[in-house]
Amino acid sequence: MAGNTFGRLFRVTTWGESHGPALGAVIDGCPPRLSLSVADIEAELARRRPGVQAHATSRREPDKVEILSGVFDGQTTGTPISLIIYNRDVKSQDYDELRDVFRPGHGDFTYQAKYGIRDHRGGGRASARETAARVAAGAVAQKILDREGVQVLAYTIELGGVAARKIDASSIWDNPFACPDPEAVAAMEARVQEVRGLHDSLGGVVQVRVRGCPPGLGEPVFDKLDAALAGAVMSVGAVKGVEIGAGFAAARRLGSENNDPLIPGGFASNHAGGILAGISSGAEIILNAAVKPIPSIGREQQTIDLEGRPRTLAVKGRHDISAIPRIVPVIMAMVRLTLADFLLRQRAIA
Ligand SMILES: Cc1cc2nc3c(=O)[nH]c(=O)nc-3n(C[C@H](O)[C@H](O)[C@H](O)COP(=O)(O)O)c2cc1C
């Protein structure tokens, strides 16, 4: 399996490279009679526009989507949905210097090792540009979730070591960091400015909360819901860790501290993050994703060229300081795709 397809019943294949003419997704297995418009998809795509920029000339994609199939009279028909997004703002010459040198921290070295050839322009298929297709497909998945009353919220809880201390869902998209705490925004901005001056980059933590997820989603034993969510979110470039509920903190607690007591109508706490034995419990699903700093940095670093000779590299061209906030809708999309697939799988047996 070449690894470009996600899901069992709600199946999404993404295709395309950063600097090719277009990219897109083909969705097979979407139920019929869901309302779906270009506007639904473009609203989500707008959230992954270039954000915390290092250079004034950062790539500006209009991110217009065309629905080529599977929708008639504003409704899904049950046939494959094909989505295409054209790459319009392509400046491939910015990447000429990367043709025969490997960027530390990026996929250049491993793509070359695996395939013996690579499209060096913009990171090719390892580029975040591919994630536009996931976000588009995620907007379709949300239509299935809407029908079941499932809401997915995602936001930045940490950027460059600055943490959000409260979660005001209404303020997430009011600031350049998708931060739910208006009081943390200024400190995040200051940290970004500081690092911009160093020609360096920043990581952070994205949190996802799923409300209204019915109990029973997740399949024993290899397709547990937590395993599937972790795999889905880790499939996003730059994600280096996934926690469900208390995550790593659970390793330092007593059982009596970590268990969530059952009470009539639910649980007294939610350290499990809404999943027990790989099956959703009906409690809120809580997931944290650790996002590493952007690998392409203007600061000089040691590397090698195609012949293995030592080189130094200070990456030019258009790169953000952090994958945050653009990664927030991407992680949200992967959670949506996972839940839509598991909802359909549960429907098949219950
Ligand atoms: C939304 C998003 C935006 C990103 N933007 C950039 C970028 O501008 N420059 C860059 O070098 N890497 C960027 N990345 C990270 C690389 O895609 C990623 O680090 C690379 O593919 C290597 O994969 P790994 O970090 O998972 O090992 C971005 C990732 C995401 C998800």
pLDDT tens, position by position, 96-138? 888 999 999 999 999 999 999 988 887 778 888 999 999 999 9
Q: Which residues are bridge partners to 163 per DSSP?
A: 158
CATH number of 5-349: 3.60.150.10
- The burial of 169, by beta-carbon neighbours within 10 Å (0-12 exposed, 13-18 middle, 19 or more buried), is given as exposed
Q: What would the pLDDT profile of 157-203 be if each residue is shown by its tens digit?
A: 999 999 999 999 999 999 999 999 999 999 999 999 999 999 999 99
Q: State how far the alpha carbon of 286 is from the alpha carbons of 216, 229, 289, in Å.
A: 16, 11, 10
> Ligand 1 centre from 49 Cα, in Å?
14
Among 53, 101, 294, residue to substitute to test ligand 1 (most atoms within 8 Å of Cβ): 294
Q: Of all protein residues, whose CA lies closest to atom 20 belonging to ligand 1?
A: 106
Among 296, 299, 321, residue to substitute to test ligand 1 (most atoms within 8 Å of Cβ): 296
- pTM of this structure: 0.96
How do the domains of the chain map onto residue ranges?
Answer: 5-349
Buried b vs exposed e over 63-95: b needs ≥16 C-beta within 10 Å?
bebebeebbeeeebbeeebbbbbbbeebeeebb
Return the half-sphere exposure (C-beta side, CA atoms, 13 A cut-off) of residue 305: 9
3-state secondary structure of 307: coil
Distance CA 163, CA 216 (A): 33
Distance CA 54, CA 139 (A): 28
Quote the pLDDT of residue 166.
Answer: 96
Pocket lining for ligand 1, CB < 6 angstroms: 106-107, 123, 126-128, 131, 236-238, 292, 294-296, 319-320, 323, 326-327, 330
